């Protein structure tokens, strides 16, 4: 089995979000995939079965299987090259690698109003809005500076009644940047996710409604950092990003 480590949503190594990509010739046991993801210790590892149309694709954090992982899908498409249709928990995903960019067609995840009080878990954040997505609590902060500086209570976030975690966002703080965000998901073994494609499936419709346009650029302001281009088209979000392969090898277990 071939194994790759790819930095996604970046044009240089050791930035963006690293993902494992495992190419399989046939389906394997879910528990084995979880063990591989735990061994690699990246936020997510993708497992794709080759030779089928569409190609089955699954994602695992070090602790659990997740419904959708954008950056690991981008990494997988980067490794495979060309155009692909993946069958996943959230339906078919159409993805393409061309001209140095990877383009993903993912389902939009429109946030809905919520009443969660997470202010004590996000010290220094002036909370202006709270919504929920399918996986996260989405918090809008007063300023990008608050998003960049926040040091959340990770132990408190880990016990929230939410599938994954909390996304914190605010309007952009420089020309050409529509918004900034950070994602914390200790409940699934990810204290802070460097760049989160699935979160942008919710951030795109959220900010499109407030900014009045459907083409957006977001920065995930984690220590590694990354940029995501978005285009909202009805109930789909088209994400674009770059990627760099930093390791290629094989699994012997």
Instruction: Give me the helices (H) in the chain, please.
Output: 30-40, 70-80, 144-149, 154-158, 197-211
The neighbour count for residue 42, using CB atoms within 10 Å, is 23
* Number of domains the chain contains: 2
Report the distance separating Cα 78 and Cα 244, nearest Å.
Answer: 8
Report the distance separating Cα 88 and Cα 226, nearest Å.
Answer: 25
Helices (H) and strands (E) in the chain, counts: 5, 18
Residues 203 and 223 reside in one and the same domain: yes
CA 139: distance to chain centroid? 16
User: For residue 150, which phi and psi values (nearest 5 degrees)?
Assistant: -60, 135
**What CATH number is given to the structural domain containing 224?**
3.10.310.10
Report the distance separating Cα 160 and Cα 138, nearest Å.
Answer: 13
Residues 121 and 216 reside in one and the same domain: yes
Residues 93 and 75 reside in one and the same domain: yes
pLDDT at 198 over 90: yes
Residues 131 and 152 reside in one and the same domain: yes
pLDDT at 49 over 90: yes
What predicted TM-score, i.e. pTM, was given to this entire model? 0.90
Residues 100 and 189 reside in one and the same domain: no
Residues 57 and 145 reside in one and the same domain: no
Residue 176 pLDDT class (50, 70, 90 cuts): very high
Residues 197 and 88 reside in one and the same domain: no
Report the distance separating Cα 10 and Cα 197, nearest Å.
Answer: 12
Q: Alpha carbon of 32 to those of 36, 38, 59, 69, 90: distances in Å?
A: 6, 10, 12, 19, 22
pLDDT at 253 over 90: no
Model pLDDT for residues 114-154, shown as the tens digit of each residue: 999 999 999 999 999 999 999 999 999 999 999 999 999 99
- Which helix (H) or strand (E) covers residue 132, if one does? strand 127-132
Question: What is the domain extent for residue 141?
Answer: 112-234
pLDDT at 105 over 90: yes
Residues 80 and 117 reside in one and the same domain: no
Report the distance separating Cα 44 and Cα 62, nearest Å.
Answer: 7
Residues 66 and 168 reside in one and the same domain: no
Average confidence (pLDDT) over 197-224: 97
Residues 180 and 125 reside in one and the same domain: yes
Residues 88 and 128 reside in one and the same domain: no
- Interior/surface letters 63-94, b for 16+ CB within 10 angstroms, e for the rest: eebbbbbbbbbbbbbbbbeeebebbbeeeebb
- Which helix (H) or strand (E) covers residue 21, if one does? strand 17-24
């Amino acid at each position: 089995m071939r194994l790759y480590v790819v930095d996604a949503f970046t044009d240089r190594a050791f930035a963006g979000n690293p993902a494992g990509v495992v190419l399989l010739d046939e389906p394997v046991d879910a528990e084995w995939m979880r063990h591989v993801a735990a061994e690699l210790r990246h936020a997510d590892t993708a497992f794709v079965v080759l030779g089928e149309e569409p190609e089955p694709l699954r994602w695992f954090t070090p602790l659990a299987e997740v419904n959708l992982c954008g950056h690991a899908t981008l990494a997988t498409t980067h490794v495979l090259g060309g155009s692909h249709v993946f069958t996943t928990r959230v339906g078919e995903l159409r993805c393409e690698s061309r001209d140095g960019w990877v383009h993903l067609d993912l389902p939009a995840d429109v946030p809905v109003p919520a009443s969660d009080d997470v202010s004590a878990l996000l010290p220094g954040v002036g909370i202006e809005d709270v919504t929920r997505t399918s996986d996260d609590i989405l918090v809008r902060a007063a300023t990008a500076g608050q998003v960049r500086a926040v040091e959340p209570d990770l132990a408190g976030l880990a016990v929230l009644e939410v599938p994954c975690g909390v996304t914190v966002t605010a309007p952009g703080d420089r020309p050409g940047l529509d918004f900034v965000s950070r994602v914390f998901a200790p409940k699934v073994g990810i204290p802070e996710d460097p760049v989160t494609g699935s979160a942008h499936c919710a951030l795109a419709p959220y900010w499109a409604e407030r900014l009045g346009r459907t083409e957006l650029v977001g920065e995930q302001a984690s220590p590694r950092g990354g940029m995501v281009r978005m285009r909202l088209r009805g109930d789909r979000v088209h994400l674009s990003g770059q990627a760099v392969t930093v390791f290629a090898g094989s699994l012997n277990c």
